[in-house]
Structure 1
Amino acid sequence: MSSRFVIDRLGAQGDGIAAGEGGEVFIPFTLPGETVTAARLKDRADLIAVLDPSPLRIDPACRHFGTCGGCALQHMQGEAYRAWKRERVVQALRSRKIEAEVAPLVACEPGTRRRAAFTARRTEAGMLLGFNRHLSTEIVALEECPVLLPEIVAALPMLRALAALACGTPKPFHIAVTATASGLDVAIHDAGRLDERRRHQLADFAIREGLARVTVDAEIVIEPKKPVVMFGDIAVQPPPGTFLQATEAAEMTMAGLVAGHLSRAKRIADLFSGCGSFALRLAPKAKIHAVESDAAALAALDRGFRFAPGLKRVTMEKRDLFRRPLTAKELDGYDGVVFDPPRAGAEDQSKQLARSQVPLVAAVSCNPVTLARDLRILLDGGYALKSVVPIDQFLWSPHVEAVALLEKPRKRR
């Protein structure tokens, strides 16, 4: 049964929010000020029609928008979209009573995302490959994607054929693809047991199609060319499934902000370092201690360091910073720290930083809510917030990255 709603505002996930009997109703693909009809189910509703469109409504860039769950805001005019995304950071800070000058959003261009995680499933009609429908396990078969790098989009038919070769289950499974300097790196998960026949077929297919690497459930099936990503001028061979920033442009922007802030530091701790996207860019001018729980990522960082000329010393430590953060006493040996944790943030590590005398800190985050929490801890510990720069690398999604730069005067001893 449909009802009429007037959209008041956008929620944190980009859904329109309207008042309804019994409370707020979340309606995706709507904009503030619009009158719509929608079929309600508890606190959510499926959009049926837009009766009075917002002047900010535009035609979406992709034919799949509205069914594919990958994008939430293609229907919103660009300037308004960027302002809304910046405001997500502003509001998160304000919720922690942090009044800071937040820079304009660093925009993300279409066709720049270098990694994607697809869902695949064998059906009677053939192999499905795409993204899940909004709030559903149904797979929307992709024919285009204006977010992804063109080489990934062009590879969609090839990836469907690869999925068909790998498939040993009637259930949905996952294929993660990363564009690297040496070709596509493809990681397949939960596709069923891989027998020798299918293993050989996958290997032959990868060679024929020029893939850099194919892994199945983290096991390398074939690696004709080592996947390579560049951190500045330094080549790194990332392990299967490791974390990389979604776009190279956003990574370079973040690295530039961090390097500029820590330019006076001679000894830097890079916490949650991954494969070294910050550490290796900072190493020409400072000694770096990289701390990360993923041993394979640290090994990749180490190889990148050892084969790169002109770097100062880079040391590495495998350590779970959620369970055992660097203590204030350990941190006092550094004059700069950068940390880039997962979405959960770095609460315990921030508490130790707040007690330390590290003069320069760069906080990088993909979650404004946990970033604001961690910044509040640092501010209460005597740090001053110098700048906050929001960065868009998840185009037309509600997700936003941010880099916050802080300083603390050193105490005289």
Structure 2
Amino acid sequence: MGRASDGSLHARVLPGEEIELKDDGGVRIVTPSPDRVAPPCRHFKSCGGCAMQHASDEFVSGWKAGILSYALSAQGLGTAIDRIETSPPETRRRAKLTGRRTKKGAFVGFHAARSDDVIAIPECRILSPELRARFPGFEVLARLAATRTTDAELYVTETESGADVLITSPRELDRELRETLPAIASQHGIARITWNGEPVATLAPPIVRLSGFPVEPPPAAFLQATGHAEAVLATEVERIVTGASRVVDLFSGCGTFSLPLARGAVVHAVEGDERLLSALDRAWRGATGLKTITTETRDLFRRPLLPDELRAFDAAVIDPPRAGAEAQIAELAIGGPGVIAMVSCNPVTFARDARTLVNAGYEMGKPLLVDQFRWSAHLEIGCGFTR
């Protein structure tokens, strides 16, 4: 944010810059910051997918470190940040795209900032080249899925077999679609199409490798947004729990941490979505050289593991959604193992949960910050706790 001469704040203006307000509400940079750079994407001015392409990488890294430091300081935690790992451009392997009908056809893109407008993004600098290459197919699907008054949403994931696409549409799945969609998938290199939750066309199992292990996740399954971030976080988690022989993986998903950890430890994976655990179990059974992975379907918000259950493990890994894991953290604070590796995508709930563990006697390590959502305010955190 930058400040105009009247003291008001303006987005996409950097600290210390002098600006002039235009009659149309825009701004003109009078004195640019040394951290100002030319945005690398031609869609930046209109697309709401990125907020900070006008700032240098060094500035963005410092800004994100400041976001985490502020959240920690609000909880009285002043630990230094270990380092920041930033995913390269054009490595985003999953995204939620909006499909919009037009008079001539349809297009897919991201929403403009704070707007219902949808911006086509054929040259997006965050999505992988593989996903961008599938845009013609996504546009064909959008033309079928959207109406003239209602957009469709396409949850797309890059896999080894082609794109995996989950569509949410106001249009019901009818006989015509059932006959048409497999041909579209074949023509446009789409491995699987799921329409309003129902798989319609699967030309090949959509395989994603987690630490080298092939996994077939369910449609729109949670994965780290970039393979780079996944590798960095998995390595950090393995480092934190080194030496543990029995590990519990809480909010395990389909095995981001369970699979690599099973190379050296027996792992118990706990997750609320049975589909994710089924994918993890299939991957484990098809792998070689791994120790046992057991799975348990359990709502950890309503039924967290209790201290008498946690005592069976030498270490815990916890990777909750943005809301954090207040109930499960409370039980870990009472009777958790001596080592906890926490991964979080929300600095505020991470700091809250870290405060609970520190109050219970855990020592907090230096957080690792992973920037896999380049040019946005989002960040990922990995941190160890010991007692």
CA distance in structure 2 between the partners assigned to 1:187 and 1:38 by the alignment: 43
Partner of 1:154: 133
Alignment of 1:156-235 (within 5 A): 156-168=135-147, 170-235=149-214
- Say if 1:68 and 1:132, in contact at 8 Å, map to a contact too: yes
Following superposition, the deviation at residue 170 of structure 1 comes to 2.9
Change (3 A) 1:202 1:37: farther
Following superposition, the deviation at residue 386 of structure 1 comes to 2.0
CA distance in structure 2 between the partners assigned to 1:166 and 1:221 by the alignment: 13
CA distance in structure 2 between the partners assigned to 1:129 and 1:202 by the alignment: 17
- Say if 2:136 and 2:188, in contact at 8 Å, map to a contact too: no
Partner of 2:283: 304
Q: Percent identity?
A: 42
- The partner residue of 1:32 within 15, 20, 40 is 15
Amino acid at match of 2:328: Q
Any unmatched runs of 5+ in structure 2? none
Amino acid at match of 2:15: P
- The partner residue of 2:228 within 249, 253, 268 is 249
CA distance in structure 1 between the partners assigned to 2:336 and 2:321 by the alignment: 24
TM-score by length of 1: 0.90
Following superposition, the deviation at residue 400 of structure 1 comes to 0.6
Amino acid at match of 2:160: A
- Say if 1:83 and 1:105, in contact at 8 Å, map to a contact too: no
- The partner residue of 1:277 within 248, 253, 256 is 256
- Say if 2:4 and 2:18, in contact at 8 Å, map to a contact too: no
- Say if 1:27 and 1:46, in contact at 8 Å, map to a contact too: no
Question: How many residue pairs are counted as aligned between the two chains?
Answer: 387
Following superposition, the deviation at residue 102 of structure 1 comes to 0.5
Any unmatched runs of 5+ in structure 1? 1-15, 409-413
Report the secondary structure of 1:212's partner residue. strand
- The partner residue of 2:328 within 339, 345, 349 is 349
Change (3 A) 1:215 1:377: same
Following superposition, the deviation at residue 110 of structure 1 comes to 0.4
Change (3 A) 1:121 1:404: same
Following superposition, the deviation at residue 125 of structure 1 comes to 4.0
- RMSD of Structure 2 on Structure 1 (CA): 1.8
- The partner residue of 1:101 within 74, 80, 101 is 80
Is residue 2:51 matched to residue 1:69?
A: no
TM-score by length of 2: 0.96
Report the secondary structure of 2:366's partner residue. strand
Partner of 1:396: 375
- Say if 2:3 and 2:13, in contact at 8 Å, map to a contact too: no
Provide, for residues 58-117 of structure 1, a one-character-per-residue CA deviation record: whole Å limited to 9, x for no partner.
Answer: 110111102100000000011111111122111111111112120221112101110111
CA distance in structure 2 between the partners assigned to 1:83 and 1:303 by the alignment: 41
- The partner residue of 1:136 within 91, 101, 115 is 115
Amino acid at match of 1:242: A
Please identify runs of 4+ aligned residues in structure 1 that moved more than 6 A: none
- The partner residue of 1:92 within 39, 49, 71 is 71
Alignment of 1:329-348 (within 5 A): 329-348=308-327
Partner of 1:379: 358
